[in-house]
Amino acid sequence: MKESQEYIALETPLSNSDVERLKSGDKVLLNGIVYTARDAAHKKLVETLREGKPLPFNLKGAVIYYCGPSPAPPGRVIGAAGPTTAYRMDPYTPELLKNGLKGMIGKGPRSDYVRRAMVEHKAVYFAATGGAGALLSQRIKAAKVIAYPELGPEAIRELIVENFPLIVVNDIYGRDLYEDGQRKYRRLP
Amino acid sequence: MRTIRFEDIVANLRNACIKANFELPNDVYQALNAALDKEQSPIGREILSQLIENADIARTERIPICQDTGTAVVWVELGQDVHVEGGFLIDAINEGVRQGYLEGYLRKSIVADPLRRKNTGDNTPAHVHIELVPGEVFRVTVLPKGGGSENMGRLAMLMPADGVDGVKKFVLDAVEKASANPCPPGIIGVGIGSTFDGVALLAKKALLRPIGERHPDPFYADLELELLELVNSLGVGPQGLGGRITTLDVHIEVAATHITSLPVAVNINCHAARRVSFEL
Ligand code: SF4
């Protein structure tokens, strides 16, 4: 685990060489387009893939943000917009990784099978600070619903983010910051 | 006999829902600042700084602290000499929640039915607890409770022989398994005693107490401090990414129980430990 205070600037879509240089524990500032999707949207995405139909956005190199924002008050692009718990997306994730997804943003640990799929397909999982919805909302410069508006807060939104602060949890080398970080600071037998 | 008007309850509930979601209680804000001084992990410190900045932005920009603006848990201390005029108390509470969540641009996170899962569209019904107390008191606390932390709650019917060690082990296990999911550091609410249903309520009630305020019984005050030390030795840390500060405080509530029982429940609150009280 690295503990440098330096931020790595990243731009979406992510390439293999982008993810190859990311290590568990790195701090990242992300720029570009990310797509929001939660459980219900994931279900639809995977169903669409299985039917062989086109997805509402290009998955190649894409970054998905597990987020269901609060409503945008008048004059703002979005309401509070922090990450939601990631493990609920695990059952759908390997299929998306197989089809080109390169990054995921959420909070909380992933299942072993998702971690293996990240190594296999060269993708990374970032943590955004859970519950920092007000701060993160200020780093979102544009937001529009691009699919499944009927899902309300769970619709797929295209967000343009600027210097979105993230921490690499799972890198393509199989490391996991939840495990490594907690072990490092544990003082109980 | 005191009379309280339906409309006054609605208006105050509305405002409390909005205020709770924009303004982190002072005790929580200060505890986050104190945690920043103590945290050793650089990533943990980075996260704590973000949480403090987040609370500042929410307060000044009027954006919710967290997008999960929660289940509206409403705790009412109702004096037995109070009469509500103009309608049913529960209806007044729900109307206040409805107005607050709609007008405050808060997220509507309630489905009407646990299996058919249709959103009610206005965050009602509120989750209301009424505690009957003597006199003419009418005190309400609104606690918007996020799903991520609520889902990490646990309950066990231990054996009396498990004793205090069994309780400690259960609490530590719950916090460790919860890991990053309840957005640590927040508050760990522990209920001990009562019945199967009652112990969960005790754990929830423990979350109402401000950070730093100890249980009035010195025995439990000591146990709170001991558990705080133990939980903060787990290494879970801010957001579960490793560190010294896994929780800002541990609060215990206890009640009498049956000779065969030792119920224990853990209800975790996140760093967005939102809470607003008012009295009418
Ligand atoms: S656990 Fe709390 S801080 Fe985290 S996302 Fe849920 S409501 Fe927000």
What confidence tens digit (pLDDT) does each residue in B92-144 have? 999 999 999 999 999 999 999 999 988 899 999 999 999 999 999 999 999 99
Distance B54 CA to ligand 1 centre (A): 13
Residue B268 structure tokens = 């975790």
Burial of B139 per CB tally in 10 Å (0-12, 13-18, 19+) = middle
Is A23 among the domain residues? no
Cβ(B150) – ligand 1 distance below 6 Å: no
Question: What's the pLDDT tens digit per position in B14-70?
Answer: 999 999 999 999 999 999 999 999 999 999 999 999 999 999 999 999 999 999 999
- How deeply is B277 buried, as exposed, middle or buried, from its count of CB atoms within 10 A (0-12, 13-18, 19+)? middle
The active-site residue, picked from A12, A14, A18, A42, is A42
**Helix, strand, coil percentages for chain B (3-state, nearest 5):** 40, 25, 35
Return all residues near B265 (Cβ < 8 A) that are at least 6 apart. Answer: B153, B154, B155, B156, B190, B191, B199, B200, B202, B203
CB neighbourhood size of B145 (10 A):
24
What is the CATH number for A128? 3.20.130.10
pLDDT in tens, B269-280: 999 999 999 999
Residue A15 lies in a domain: no
Which residues of B are less than 8 Å from A69 in CB distance?
67, 107
Specify the residue with its C-alpha closest to ligand 1, atom 7. Answer: B146
Interface contact B63-A80, CB threshold 8 A? yes
Residue type for position B253: E
Give the domain extent around A151. Answer: 33-158+174-185
Name which of B264, B234, B248 is nearest B170 in CA terms: B264
Tell me, yes or no, if A121 is annotated catalytic. no
> d(Cα B166, Cα B155) in Å, to the nearest integer?
13
Is the pLDDT reported for residue A3 higher than 60? no
Cβ(B183) – ligand 1 distance below 6 Å: yes
What was the pLDDT predicted at A5? 60
Give a yes or no: residue A150 inside a domain.
yes
Residue of B nearest to A79 (CA): B63
- Angle CA B73–B79–B82, to nearest 5: 105
Q: Which amino acid is at B54?
A: N
pLDDT in tens, B171-194: 999 999 999 999 999 999 999 999
Q: What is the pLDDT of residue A188?
A: 87
pLDDT at position A1 is: 38
pLDDT, residue A186, reads 95
Mean model confidence pLDDT for chain A:
94
Closest approach of A12 to chain B, Cα-based (Å): 23
- How many structural domains does chain A have? 1
Residues of chain B with CATH 3.30.360: 2-20+65-145
For residue B234, the one-letter residue type is L
**How far from each other are the two terminal CA atoms of chain A, in whole angstroms?**
22
Contacts of A153 (CB under 8 A, 6+ apart): A38, A68, A69, A70, A71, B107, B108
Q: pLDDT-derived band of residue B78, with 50, 70 and 90 as boundaries?
A: very high
Average per-residue pLDDT in chain B? Answer: 97
Residues of A in contact with B271 (CB under 8 A): 131
For residue A42, being part of any structural domain is answered with: yes
B7-to-A2, B138, B276, B280 alpha-carbon distances in Å: 57, 14, 19, 12
| ipTM value | 0.92
| Pocket probe mutation, ligand 1, options B63, B149, B241, max atoms within 8 Å of Cβ | B149
A130 to chain B: closest CA residue: B183
pLDDT at A27 over 80: yes
B1 Cα to chain A: minimum distance (Å): 42
Interface contact B180-A134, CB threshold 8 A:
no
Which ligand 1 atom sits nearest the alpha carbon of residue B68? 7
Q: What is the pTM of this model?
A: 0.95
**B86 alpha carbon – ligand 1 mean position (Å):** 36
Summarize the confidence of residues A32-58 as an average pLDDT.
95
Query: Are residues B57 and A138, on separate chains, in Cβ contact within 8 Å?
Result: yes
Lookup: tokens for B51 = 């949480």
- Rounded Cα gap, residues B272 and B277, in angstroms: 16
Please compute the mean of the pLDDT values over residues B1-13 and round it to a whole number. 97
pLDDT tens per residue across span A155-180: 999 999 999 999 999 999 999 999 99
Instruction: Kindly state whether residue A20 falls inside one of the protein's structural domains.
Output: no
Taking CA–CA distances from B177, the nearest residue in chain A reads A109
pLDDT at B4 over 60: yes
pLDDT in tens, B231-263: 999 999 999 999 999 999 999 999 999 999 999
Evaluate whether the domain defined by B2-20+65-145 bears CATH number 3.40.109: no
Is the pLDDT at A2 greater than 80? The verdict is no
